[in-house]
Amino acid sequence: MVLSIWLIMLPLFFLLNNIFANKGIDEIIKKNKIEEITFLLYSVVLFLCFFFLYLTVYYIIDRSVSSRIMIEIEKSPSKRLTFEELIKIYDVDTKYQNEIKGMEEGSFIKKEGDKYKCTVKGLIVGRIAFFLKSIWKLGEGG
C-alpha cells in the first residue's frame, strides 16, 4: 500500500517539480540543462528521503513492540499494567501473528497449506536484507 501511494504521488511530484523548476527558480537563476537535471535528481532524492521517513514512522507505530506495549498500557482502565498483564495482552504468539498478517497483506509471503512461502517480492526484499546485513556485519537477530 505504501509503495502504491508513492507511485501514485510520483507523477504529481514530477509535475510540481517541473512547474517550480521552470517558472520559479529559472526566473531567478538561468540554468543550463546540467543544472536542471541536477535539480531534478536532488528533488527525487529529497522525495525518497521523505518517503523513507514516512516508512520509518509507520513501522515505529505499527510494528514496534515498545509502541504496542505503551498503547496497551494507555488503553487499560487504570493506565497501568503489570508485566504479567502485558504478557497476557501482547504475547509472542500475538506478535508473530501480527507480523505474518502484515507480510501476507503486503504480498511478501503466502500460505500454502500449513506452511508459508516467500513470493517474488518477498524473495527480493529478503535478499536485499540479507545482503545489507552481511555488509553491516549484523548477526542473526540484528
Higher pLDDT, 46 or 73: 73
Cα–Cα distance for residue pair 111/34, rounded to 1 Å: 49
Residue 116 contacts residue 100 (beta carbons within 8 Å): yes
Structure confidence at residue 78 as a pLDDT band (50, 70, 90): very high
Please report the pLDDT score of residue 129 as a whole number.
Answer: 87
**Which residues are within 8 A (CB) of 103 and not within 5 positions of it... i.e. 6 or more apart?**
109, 122
* pLDDT value for 4: 72
Place of cell 526484499: 125
For the stretch 6-43, pLDDT in tens is: 677 777 777 776 666 665 554 545 556 676 677 777 77
Please state the rounded mean pLDDT for residues 92-114: 91
Q: Which amino acid is at 41?
A: L
